[in-house]
Amino acid sequence: MTSVTPPNILILFTDDQRFDALGALGNPAIHTPNMDRLAARGTAFTYAHIMGGTSPAVCMPSRAMLHTGRQLFGLQGAGEGIPADHVLLGEHLQAHGYRTWGTGKWHNGPAAYARSFSDGAEIFFGGMDDHWNVPACAFDPTGRYDVRQPLVKDAWSSNVVTYRLCDHITPGKHSSELFAEVAIEWLHANADEQPFFMYVSFMAPHDPRTMPQEFLEMYDPEEVVLPPNFTGGHPFDNGDLKVRDELLEEFPRTAPAIRRHLAEYYAMISHLDAQIGRILDALEATGRGENTIIVFAGDNGLALGQHGLMGKQNLYDHSVRVPLIMAGPGVPAGRRSDALCYLYDIMPTLCDLVGVPIPDSVQGHSLVGALQGADPVRETMYLAYKEYQRAVRDRRYKLIEYVVDGRRTTQLYDIEHDPWEMRNLADEPALGPTPLAEHLRRLRRELVRHRDITGDHKTPWGAAFWANYE
């Protein structure tokens, strides 16, 4: 009797890539042949979401949710101190015989990295930086990562100062190429039969959006088509209109400026796509492509002019929906799933696919049933941003509630017929056979139900929102 090697796992994780920013999922304006190649090989979840964030650095809890399988308000220490009872994906896989290797952005502190990985290279402990001069660390088997650069201002707060972990900079090499090259080197140098978990976490397409000139020249800003929901500014104060992301472009937003931003965004994604292609080619060249589960996903979306916004500090689809593609053993090829899912469902799904138990600490749902087309996963989803915004959506409607300076604002969208979220139905009397007022009441009840299930109201952010909402 011969033993069967469990599948390897490769996660390719991008930074600020919107759900529709790849060609295979309906965007003809962008060139992403390698992401499209993965979509053809596997299943794309077209309604994958992040749950939101409790700080403007939405990517920090998003990444913690991915690696713990826990929902936003079930998380502790997303930045520096993820507790031991939050079992980490890499940690769990190591306990079941996997080699774990990581490179790129790790925004959840060195202690969590040390628990997750048995090897790695070019580790960036931070949120954002110069793509051509990445302050990175070599893998430290002691897990201390006690090297320091000088104190720097935190990118998200004018009154927070932090250390940046770094022991070297490779000047003149773009972050996407840097991380891809060390991943390729590791694949070629480690060809034993022990299954591996490889985590390649890119800094792109997060700003500052810089890339080799040849990719920038692929997109003429004058030919970029603006989204239908482009506008010069948001119609009301959503609580964070002056956060860092929103200051990347002047007010009011102009069509030429947003076309330029989109051209640079697409160019950066195309450059990133080329590096992903190199990793996929190396995986095939080492003979392990057939026995590797590949997950491609993004940590959050981005507005870039939609609704007059630039960043991801909001609950519109452009900011909370993300790409999620799975391919490999146990995953049907060429499928699209409309299951309502979160990034924190990835951990239990991978456990199911490779045959290891799901830790008791995990709060997400396995998507294996959805991969087979038999499981909608959930009927409604809950979304949150800081103390300002809460939302709930089902398969047709989305309700967004805002509380800013004691003022409530309500939005209700029929996202089945209005996917760009342009027509606020909250004040309209009826649509179709069911009065809109009943949908509003139903979704508000669902909002409260999710509040209680998640424990949102027991957190500082939720307590502040709900005290002013009710």
Residue owning tokens 């048995």: 118
The phi-psi region of residue 311 (left if phi > 0; otherwise alpha if psi is between -120 and 50; otherwise beta) is: beta
End-to-end CA distance of the chain: 64
Eight-class DSSP state of 137: B
Quick one: which of 400, 454, 335 has its CA closest to 43?
Answer: 335
CA distances for 191 relative to 95, 182, 288, 350, angstroms: 20, 15, 9, 22
Q: Residue 187 in 3-state DSSP?
A: helix
Question: In this prediction, what percent of the chain has a pLDDT beyond 70?
Answer: 94
Q: Which pair of structure tokens corresponds to residue 212?
A: 């080799």
Beta bridge partners of 119: 101
Domain ranges of the chain: 8-371, 381-469
pLDDT of residue 400: 98
pLDDT of residue 156: 43
For the whole model, what pTM was predicted? 0.95
443-455 pLDDT per residue, tens: 999 999 999 999 9
247-286 pLDDT per residue, tens: 999 999 999 999 999 999 999 999 999 999 999 999 999 9
Q: Is the dihedral of CA 42, 47, 50, 51 positive or negative?
A: negative
Angle of helix 255-285 relative to helix 33-41, nearest 10 degrees, comes to 60
Question: Please, are residues 335 and 25 in contact by the beta-carbon 8 Å criterion?
Answer: no
Class of domain 8-371: alpha beta
Give me the architecture of the 381-469 domain, per CATH. Answer: 2-Layer Sandwich (3.30)
Mean pLDDT, residues 28-43 taken together: 97
